[in-house]
Structure 1
Amino acid sequence: MPIADSEAFLRAHTALSAAAIVPEISLYLATEITPIWQATEAWLAETGIEPPFWAFAWPGSQALARIILDRPDLVAGKRVLDFAAGCGLAAIACAKAGAASVEAAEIDPLAIASTLLNAAENGVSVIAETRDVVGDACRWDLILCGDVCYEAPMTGHILPWLRAMVTAGAEVWVADPGRAYLPRQGMEVIERMMVPTTLELEDTKERPVTVFRLEAA
């Protein structure tokens, strides 16, 4: 789908706002999941598509962005990948903090369009990867993963590769709000924080998020 058409769709069905704990970054977000889901299906002329997770700032990405903006020295001058970037919040935070380069990887074209639109709104540059980068050789200093361990197949697909990235020299952060398939070993705690959530997506108004540093296998 043309990027211009995607941007027009996003502007029509989301509103410019900010994540709860990251007011410095403006994002085009939805407030309810059903209307944006229905609008996406109608626009794509498809049914049974994945929920539009890119239309929300998930707690893991909020925690990553908060740490980065508070400690820009952690990313300044580094090559960063925001893996499963969603709306691109963590990627934008890295660009604002002075990363040498920022890539955002997503397999959903609308997520990439959302990331690029949000990056432009904040006056930063993000490189879009519109494919599954799992299996790529390491070309990053830091890989950020927010809310990625929500399903067993997803975790099984990405975790060996992420650990291989650590072995290859990258630092990998995983921000998790208590998802069921988070690995229980090989994880070093960086920081914990409470993040407000929406009942449109969660069963609570607040979740404790832990940001881990992944260890090699």
Structure 2
Amino acid sequence: MQPVPPAFLRAHTRVARPTLVPEVQLHVADDVVGLWEAMETEGGGAGLDPPFWAAAWPGGQALARYVLDHPGTVAGRRVLDLGAGSGLVAVAALLAGARAVVASDVDPYSHTAVALNAELNGVSGIEVVGDVLADELPDVEVVLAGDVCYDREMTGRVLPFLGAAWLGGASVFLGDPGRAYVPSEGLVEQAVYDVVDADGGPARRTTVWRLP
């Protein structure tokens, strides 16, 4: 797929601040279904993934809040934002003093969203890449993964990757809004947040976990 023009995202999103991380601004969608339809009609035809990048998910908000409140987690380090989506966690890591960030996502729309949101927040130093799960871990010291265990198949790919990153010496943090596939053992609780839905839905109890 060809690179997604920034003008498309600007035309179909608005700028908002996530409820838990008001320090950060993001391009988000008011009408996700309408955006998805526009992606299909204007952005390359049918078969495109839903626009997960157009929302600030609870797992990402919790991770972003955590690194902003605990900048020593990332300050001066190279960071991987796994499943970057909007780039919220990548932006928060840079605001907290990360030396550089690799933002990984399979969706080319996410790549454009990350670049736009970095520009919107006045940060630089994000390298946007595709799927890294089948490759060697990028040269990073911290891995931040927001809500990446959303189904069995994805969890089966993510957990070995996170484990290998930890064994390789990286600090690994996982933002989880209570997904059933997140293991109950082998993780250390770092913080718990109630993430309020921007549309007024119920808050999601979301935990930041660390591999020990």
Report the TM range for the smaller structure's normalisation.
over 0.9
The alpha-carbon distance between structure 1 residues 211 and 80, as it changes in their structure 2 partners (threshold 3 A), is same
My pick for the range that moved more, 32-41 or 54-63, is 32-41
Unaligned runs of 5+ in 2: none
| Structure-2 residue corresponding to 1:115 | 114
**8 Å CA contact retained: 2:99, 2:125:** no
TM-score of the superposition, structure 2-length normalised?
0.93
**8 Å CA contact retained: 1:86, 1:115:** yes
For 1:194, the aligned partner's letter is D
Q: Cα offset for 1:72?
A: 1.5
Identity of aligned residues (%): 45
Q: Cα offset for 1:66?
A: 0.8
Q: Cα offset for 1:71?
A: 1.9
| Structure-2 residue corresponding to 1:213 | 210
Aligned residues: 211
- The CA distance in 2 between the partners of 1:71 and 1:174, in whole Å, is 15
Alignment of 1:13-52 (within 5 A): 13-52=12-51
**8 Å CA contact retained: 1:59, 1:195:** yes
Q: Cα offset for 1:209?
A: 0.2
- The CA distance in 1 between the partners of 2:151 and 2:28, in whole Å, is 24
| Structure-1 residue corresponding to 2:164 | 164
For 2:143, the aligned partner's letter is I
| Structure-1 residue corresponding to 2:99 | 100
- The CA distance in 2 between the partners of 1:45 and 1:124, in whole Å, is 30
The alpha-carbon distance between structure 1 residues 2 and 50, as it changes in their structure 2 partners (threshold 3 A), is closer
For 2:118, the aligned partner's letter is A
Which stretches of structure 1, 4 residues or more, deviate above 6 A after TM superposition? none
- The CA distance in 2 between the partners of 1:214 and 1:181, in whole Å, is 16
Unaligned runs of 5+ in 1: none
- The CA distance in 1 between the partners of 2:53 and 2:109, in whole Å, is 7
Report the 3-state secondary structure (helix = DSSP H, G, I; strand = E; otherwise coil) of the residue aligned with 1:68.
helix
For 2:211, the aligned partner's letter is L
Q: Cα offset for 1:198?
A: 5.0
**8 Å CA contact retained: 2:86, 2:113:** yes
- The CA distance in 2 between the partners of 1:194 and 1:43, in whole Å, is 37
My pick for the range that moved more, 131-140 or 7-16, is 131-140
The alpha-carbon distance between structure 1 residues 105 and 55, as it changes in their structure 2 partners (threshold 3 A), is same
Q: Cα offset for 1:129?
A: 3.3
Quick check: which one's strand share is greater?
1
